[in-house]
Amino acid sequence: MEQANSITDYLKILKRYEAYPKQYYRGQLEKYTTISPSIARDPGYSSNESAIYHESIKMKKEEFNGLLTPLEKLAKLQHYGIPTRLVDVTINPLIALYFAVENVDDLSPSNVYLYLVEGHLFDSKEAKLLSILPTNPSHEVNSIIAAYENIFGDSLSQEEVLEIVSTPIIIQYSDALQNSNPRLLSQQGTFLICGNEVVNGIITNSLKSLDTITPSVIIRIPYEYKKKVKNELDLKYSINQTRIYPELPSVASYIKEKYKEENLSLDGKYSIVKKEDVSHALAKRVSITIVLTEPMHINQIKSLVISIIDQYKKSENVVWIYVARNGNDYILSNWILRGQWIDPALNEKYRPLTFKDFEKGYYWDYDKSYSTMSDYYNQHIFNDDKTLFVNYHQIWEEFCTIYQTIQYFYQENRWDDLISEILKQKSEITRLYMQLQNFGHSHNKEFGDFLYMFIDCISSIDNLHFWIENETLSAQAKQYQIRKALYKAEDKVEQISQEISDWRDKLHITN
């Protein structure tokens, strides 16, 4: 999965696939984990597919005059929202993007799916046979063969029917479909026709949909950027509600949405979780980290950042704001946005490096992968606190045996023995340090800070052999660096010893 925060990002991803002649797109909210046809969304629909088809046509017979094939009639039914086995796709990536971000108020991210498959002609054998299935009360093979011969005047073998029926297909974009569904012209749309599961030569009611075709790429538009992307589609490409739905009611909806004034209170929308004074003698500087308490669009987040920066302009020369969507992103420094303000009067010598985007006095850094990286972290980086404690504790016990020997030689001032022991154990110490990197992170920031003390302590001891083996250092300099590392490790050992029992009790861990 890839992430796009803008139409430029989106088109840049798709450029990799421009050499492929056949491309079909589907855009929808990510919360809909399947791409299923409307007929499959209720058991009553799927078990009465044929009745729905015939009854709907009978009720509005005049609407279907001039439509000769079952596929044309299915397309018309789809246009009116009747449950069918068709799934909408488009050949236009920007139209698919609009469908993905259309509902900007839904908190779900949006996905666009790209399929690089060979579409079938409107009058192909595959299209005609699959369109027969909704019209026929029986899915018995001979009954389907008879219906096909009756409508199209061609014959099929049982083997052909079972093979075709079990494979969903995408219909190539064509004028013939546009006649039956006016929206297809404005949406540059076409359809996938679902097939049916075939078990032991029997065609079941269970449908095979677009989920059975693997997309070549999925592009996610995070919730925070949906509104921004939707506005871009309107302003740059005139793709909006009135283009997609060319009926009059959509004009009213579009006008109301476009000119509605948005009033946003920033109170309670965030928490300041970290504030650091990073000043030096010639510049007052502060770094502030915030975690959002509820989802916000990117422009709202920028307004929030600016409002915080403005509170510090009188007292600081430089302000950094780091924004995380949630606690997990904060723990892993996975920022949705970073903002920066620098006092224009600050001497050029003392100005820090700036973020690359400058807008009206503020510098910005927009992360282009925070959403997909968050998924990766949640799946592969975080772990259960009890498991983490047990794993860290096991490594700690192994480490302490080595550490006590090193400390003994140091306290006895036996430098030759100390150096010999460090070099003897260096591979084992490095192994223990590297093992800690494999255990993942806690969702609990406080517990995560406790675990980091283990890493910090073992890292200090792991560095000892580097000072010993550094030939550019004098014996006195080596002793200084070794003492410094041991003091740091001793401090961490003391802190860990004080807290380890408390965490064992909090996590209800037994021996």
DSSP bridge pairs for 219:
2, 112
pLDDT range class, residue 377, cuts 50, 70, 90: confident
Sequence-separated (6 or more) residues with CB below 8 Å from residue 327? 291, 443, 445
Asked whether the CA dihedral 316, 322, 326, 329 is positive or negative, the reply is: negative
Indicate the number of domains in the chain: 3
Q: Give the C-alpha separation, 222 to 231, whole Å.
A: 15
Whether 101 is covered by a domain: the verdict is yes
Q: What's the confidence (pLDDT) of residue 256?
A: 57
349 shares its domain with 465? no
Q: What's the confidence (pLDDT) of residue 280?
A: 86
Q: What's the confidence (pLDDT) of residue 248?
A: 46
Whether 51 is covered by a domain: the verdict is yes
Please give the DSSP secondary-structure letter assigned to residue 126: H
Whether 305 is covered by a domain: the verdict is yes
Q: What's the confidence (pLDDT) of residue 79?
A: 79
Whether 463 is covered by a domain: the verdict is yes
148 shares its domain with 230? yes
Mean pLDDT of 312-339: 93
Q: What's the confidence (pLDDT) of residue 290?
A: 94
Q: What's the confidence (pLDDT) of residue 189?
A: 83
Q: Give the C-alpha separation, 102 to 4, whole Å.
A: 16
- Residue 359: give the domain boundaries: 270-377
As a three-state string, the secondary structure of 197-216 is: EEECCEEEEEEECHHHCCCC
- Identify the domain boundary among 338, 356, 377: 377
- Identify the domain boundary among 244, 278, 311: 244
CA-to-CA separations, 304 to 105, 277, 482, in angstroms, rounded: 19, 21, 47
Cβ-in-10-Å burial (0-12, 13-18, 19+) of 508 comes to exposed
Please give the DSSP secondary-structure letter assigned to residue 224: H
- Give the tens place of pLDDT for each residue, 301-323: 999 999 999 999 999 999 999 99
Mean pLDDT of 322-338: 92
For the cut 90, the answer to whether the pLDDT of residue 81 exceeds it is no
Q: Which has the higher per-residue pLDDT, 185 or 291?
A: 291
- Give the tens place of pLDDT for each residue, 432-460: 999 988 888 888 889 989 999 999 999 99
360 shares its domain with 219? no
Sequence-separated (6 or more) residues with CB below 8 Å from residue 298? 5, 224, 225, 227, 228, 337, 366
Q: What's the confidence (pLDDT) of residue 109?
A: 95
Could you tell me if 418 and 404 are in contact, meaning their C-beta atoms sit under 8 angstroms apart? no
Q: Give the C-alpha separation, 38 to 357, whole Å.
A: 44
Q: What's the confidence (pLDDT) of residue 176?
A: 67
103 shares its domain with 236? yes
DSSP states of 74-115 as a string?
HHHHHHTT---SEEEEES-HHHHHHHHHS-TTSSS-EEEEEE
102 shares its domain with 212? yes
Mean pLDDT of 407-430: 93
Could you tell me if 398 and 361 are in contact, meaning their C-beta atoms sit under 8 angstroms apart? no
Q: Give the C-alpha separation, 369 to 367, whole Å.
A: 6
Tokens coding 132:
């027969």
Q: Give the C-alpha separation, 153 to 21, whole Å.
A: 33
Whether 345 is covered by a domain: the verdict is yes
30 shares its domain with 129? yes
Whether 172 is covered by a domain: the verdict is yes
298 shares its domain with 203? no
| Secondary-structure breakdown of the chain: helix, strand, coil percentages, each rounded to the nearest 5 | 50, 15, 30
322 shares its domain with 213? no
Whether 476 is covered by a domain: the verdict is yes
For the cut 90, the answer to whether the pLDDT of residue 395 exceeds it is yes
DSSP states of 9-62 as a string?
HHHHHHGGGTT-S--EEEEEETT--S---GGGGSHHHHTTHHHHHHHHHHHTGG
Whether 322 is covered by a domain: the verdict is yes
For the cut 60, the answer to whether the pLDDT of residue 62 exceeds it is yes
Q: What is the CATH number of the domain that holds 336?
A: 3.10.310
Mean pLDDT of 121-128: 90
363 shares its domain with 485? no
139 shares its domain with 205? yes
Q: Give the C-alpha separation, 214 to 49, whole Å.
A: 26
Q: Give the C-alpha separation, 298 to 78, whole Å.
A: 35
3-state secondary structure of 320: strand
The region that residue 274 occupies, defined by phi over 0 for left and psi between -120 and 50 for alpha, beta otherwise, is beta
Tokens coding 403:
């550490």
Cβ-in-10-Å burial (0-12, 13-18, 19+) of 68 comes to exposed
Q: Give the C-alpha separation, 34 to 213, whole Å.
A: 12
- Identify the domain boundary among 346, 377, 408: 377
pLDDT range class, residue 265, cuts 50, 70, 90: low
DSSP states of 279-317 as a string?
-BTTB-EEEEEEEESS---HHHHHHHHHHHHHHHTTT-S
397 shares its domain with 350? no
Q: What's the confidence (pLDDT) of residue 254?
A: 57
Q: What's the confidence (pLDDT) of residue 438?
A: 85
414 shares its domain with 290? no
Q: Which has the higher per-residue pLDDT, 313 or 175?
A: 313
pLDDT range class, residue 246, cuts 50, 70, 90: low
Q: What's the confidence (pLDDT) of residue 260?
A: 60
For the cut 70, the answer to whether the pLDDT of residue 300 exceeds it is yes
